[in-house]
Amino acid sequence: MASEGILLGMGNPLLDISAVVDEDFLKKYDIKLNNAILAEDKHLPMYEEMANKSNVEYIAGGATQNSIKVAQWMLQTPGAASYMGCIGKDKFGEEMQKNSKLAGVNVHYYEDETTPTGTCAVCVVGGERSLVANLSAANCYKSEHLKRPENWALVEKAKYFYIAGFFLTVSPESVQLVAEHAAAKNKVFTMNLSAPFICEFFRDVQEKALPYTDYVFGNETEARTFSKVHGWKTDNVEEIALKISQWPKASGTHKRITVITQGADPVVIAEDGKVKLFPVIMLPKEKLVDTNGAGDAFVGGFLSQLVQEKPIEECVRAGCYASNVIIQRSGCTYPEKPNFS
């Protein structure tokens, strides 16, 4: 069994507000199906309008929070996973608190008095969806919150850390504090490349954090962008994974392992100068609901076994299991209990 507080995540908490809408709603707010955008001023009233619909669903989201919740679900030990990020003092913030506690995650949110909770509108028409994200309070996290004794206690207690690359745009100082703690105490620090724009436009803070990483997650597009940004002149995901695993390390306690997912293609694992490929679970097209949260779920499943010191094959198998469950459901949601042995 995993011990309480063994895993800590930090990231951008966004409350997914999912509702079935109609074509008029899409026209009114000028949004297209199967698209994902950042909210502009013209979109802002739609959040309240969706919140008032009878079919509205609230799902605590955001990349790191998704992974942490999936790990918690796989582990089934109350409070095995903890999470920090910034929300607002409002109705949506309360929904987020409620949702995360129900998921069994020990959340210590920083509450911003002046900025609303970050939201992602999930507009559903005929099973297809359009996403409109508004970071708001998630963008306001401060390292002062992390340094408070009751929050730093979570860092002291955890033996494994996971932070998605998205958080580098918000509080690189917090990332660095946790990374340095992990290196000093021989703990395991893991990160995600998260998005091509992180590799391109947040290269400096990403490179500063990278030496501390014991596991680096990402997908094939992010890996290729990372390669291009660093002038490696290769598009070969296996080569890139190997090069990332050989990036200099801040601490010699753990070797670095790179984990790159490629959708329906095999998962690439690079460690000790070698590459291994692991096939994923194939899913008939008609069973696919949406791939929203598939990568987050893979990381959550992987971490659930890593914190139990299981071999890498088991970590990958659990990652594939979790993402297979999530893509057959709406958003990053899951049944009450996992069916993983």
Q: Which residues are catalytic?
A: 296
CA 327 to chain centre: 15
**What's phi and psi for 245, nearest 5 deg?**
-65, -25
Tokens 């990652």, residue located: 319
Q: Give the single-character DSSP code of 330.
A: S
Element (H, E) at 119: strand 119-125
Find residue 267's DSSP bridge partners.
Answer: 278
Residue 244 carries which side chain, given as an amino acid letter?
I
Spatial neighbors of 161 by CB under 8 A, at least 6 apart, are 7, 8, 9, 10, 155, 178, 179, 182, 187, 188, 189, 190
Q: For residue 108, what are the β-bridge partners? A: 84
Q: Reduced to 3 states, what is the DSSP secondary structure of residue 37?
A: strand
